[in-house]
Structures are given as structure tokens and as C-alpha cells.
Amino acid sequence: MNSETRARCLRMARGRLACALLPLLMVAWFVSRGQIFAAGLLFCTVLPLMMIGTLVPRCAWFGPMIKRLAHDTGHALLTIDDGPHPEHTPAILDILDRHQIKALFFLIGERAARHPELVREIVQRGHEIGNHTQTHPAARFWALPPATLWREVADCQHTLTSICPDHPPRFFRPPAGHHNVCTFVISQALGLKMLMWSVRGFDGVMQDVKFITERIRARLKPGSIVLIHEATPVAVEVAESTARLLAESGLMCGASALPRSDDC
């Protein structure tokens, strides 16, 4: 990615951010004119809309994203976030092999750099790797300024591509699904499509494997994009129960379930 492309993308991202912040300037102007009611009305209208667009993972107000597969294909897609992990990744790969499932692993760049052999193993076993930022700043990713956001996504892309040059990531998933008005512009400039999910069991914050599995079961249907995680106390158990569930569902969950670039 050359410096000209980066500079052009950041100009566009900063322009979008300025437009998003313009209502706050209008609020200040109304306050300075003594129009407190108008200021409060504008603030209470714009702020919730911005928060919904930012913090609701599947809200596409700020740019297009993939939230599910075509429902009439009989496919589902398993996505696994937050790897690679020295213990979980090998175990999960064995589970997927046993159930004949191919998945999309959204990897954190700095973890991938520590365990490049695991990234190569994921690809060698027929799975796909995705961009999940370089450091996974989940609590503040939505608030990152354009240059820092670019660095998170671009550095991860560079890390993963340097490890598997023949299989660069095609898809990007922001940490916790949170994104801001700049995220789409930056991911698009880096050649990435944002891919979210339609089914999750909240295994990132819960440890009740039965509850997690049943929640996924209740929502699983053709076209589902399922989200589970590595690096949790129940990661391997959840991977086993979810893989078994997918295998028993009759849905096809392999390489053909992945969206093609020209369909995204």
C-alpha cells in the first residue's frame, strides 16, 4: 500500500469524521445563541444515532458489510476470532478436521507474529485467515482517530500477508464488532470487506458451554455466519460443541460457504 493511497484514504476518513462531528458544533452554536431547547434536541437526536451506528455490530449506517450468506444456498460459515493461540488453535484445527468443516479465522496481528507457524497451519489445513487488527484494542477501537485506525488494520494486513503471502486476508472484522465513520473507508482502501456475524453464543464473555451451544442452535439456519472465539477458558469446548452442531445441521460449512470477492 503506497503512501499516496494512505494519504488519500486518511483525507477521506478525516472528512467523514468532520461531517460526523459537525452536529456538535451546531449544538455549541445553539447554546451560544441561548437556544438551549434546540441544542438539547439536536444533541439527543444525533448522539443516539451515532452510538447505534458505532456500537451495534451489525448496523451498516457507516458503510456496507457482510452480515449473512445467501439463505438459499444451504451454507453456513463458522468464524473464529482472536487467535492464533498456542494451545487452542491446534486443538480447534483437529476438531474442524474431524467434523470436516472449514472456517474463517480472524487473527490478531501481534499474536500471529508470535506464532507464525500456527497461521501457516491454519491455511495449510484449508481454512481462510481474516484481519482482526494488530493489537485488538476492543475497548477503544470505535474511538480511534483515522491514522491510528489505519495503523491497526494496515499493520495486521502486513503481518498476515508476510506470513502467508499467497493467502492475504480478504475480510476484516473490527474488535467486538464496534466501528466508526472511518472504518469502512480504511478497510476498503486496504482491499478488505467488513464481515460481521448473524449467530453468536457470547462465548467471549460467558463460560456456560451448554447455554452458548443452545443459543447458537436456536439461531442457526441457512446463510448463518457463526461467531466463536479462541483465547477463552471454554474455547476448545465451544469449538467442539459448535462444530458438532454444524455437522449435524446438514448445512454445508466449507470453502464454498465463503463469500466470493465479487459478491461482497
Residues with catalytic roles: 81, 229
- 91 within 8 A of 114, measured Cβ to Cβ: no
- CA–CA gap between residue 194 and residue 63 (Å, rounded): 9
* One-letter identity of residue 131: N
Cβ within 8 Å of residue 187, ≥6 positions away: 153, 172, 193, 194
Under a CB-based contact definition with an 8 Å cutoff, are residues 10 and 147 in contact? yes
The DSSP symbol for 66 reads B
CB atoms within 10 A of CB 225: 22
Question: Which residues on adjacent β-strands are paired with residue 83?
Answer: 107
Phi, psi angle pair for 195, to nearest 5°: -125, 120
Query: Which helix (H) or strand (E) covers residue 104, if one does?
Result: strand 103-107
